[in-house]
Amino acid sequence: MGSTLSTISSALTKESEPAYNGNPTEDDVTSVRDLFLCYLPLELIDLILEYAEYWPCIRCDSNYEIVAEASRAISNEAAWLYLMSPPIPPKDESKRRRIRKITFQMESHDQGWANTEVDQGTYNGSWSWFEAVIFRASVSPCWLDLTSDPTSPFNLGAKFNYSDLKELFPEPDPNG
């Protein structure tokens, strides 16, 4: 068994390439499937790869830290694009795959203030949330302006009212 694992490892990596990083590409998955075909029937291989969650993977991350202070004032925007993945390949219809899993790993610290006196010093009555959106290739979101500053976050007050939106980090005035 040890020699089989060694053979698989040798077949998937070249001497000049770094060790496997846990993000298989389409070619990685195809190579493993082809290698297993020497030992197992295709139906079993597909079950093994599915159970192992060994699918082509796209990983994107950002280390940009956001510090926001809540303030209740009127603004008409509350969206902030923090991270966008590249388009999901391949565009070749013969290799089209369904997305099987999306994983988010985030660290967040809530603001810790509350609407009522009894909740002061607790996290009761305060909220933070994250949203994920799928941008379809055929749809161009009219509100998405990638030329603007992506580090300009917005925040909502804990007692939500549509008119209570405030831009926390407005762009500096170029005139001074």
**114 and 151 share a domain?**
yes
**78 and 11 share a domain?**
no
**111 and 38 share a domain?**
no
Could you give the number of structural domains in the chain?
Answer: 2
**46 and 67 share a domain?**
no
Strand 165-167 and strand 154-156: pairing? antiparallel
The tokens describing 43, both together, are: 């139906």
**27 and 72 share a domain?**
no
Position 76 scores a pLDDT of: 44
Position 162 scores a pLDDT of: 44
Query: DSSP assignment, residue 94?
Result: G
Position 114 scores a pLDDT of: 63
Position 155 scores a pLDDT of: 43
Q: Tokens 């809530």 identify what position?
A: 110
**103 and 120 share a domain?**
yes
**47 and 106 share a domain?**
no
**Which pLDDT tens digits describe the chain residue by residue (176 residues)?**
444 444 444 444 455 555 566 788 888 999 999 999 999 998 899 999 999 999 888 888 888 776 655 555 555 444 567 788 877 765 566 566 677 888 888 777 665 556 677 777 776 766 667 778 877 765 554 444 444 454 444 444 344 444 555 555 556 666 75
User: Which of 51, 68, 91 is the last residue before a domain boundary?
Assistant: 51
Structural domain harbouring 34: 2-51
With H, G, I as helix, E, B as strand and everything else as coil, classify residue 154.
strand
**176 and 89 share a domain?**
yes
Buried b (16+ CB within 10 A) or exposed e, 76-111: eeeebeeeeeeeeeeeeeeeeeeeeeeeeeeeeeee
- pTM (2 d.p.): 0.48
**104 and 136 share a domain?**
yes
**64 and 125 share a domain?**
yes
Position 128 scores a pLDDT of: 66
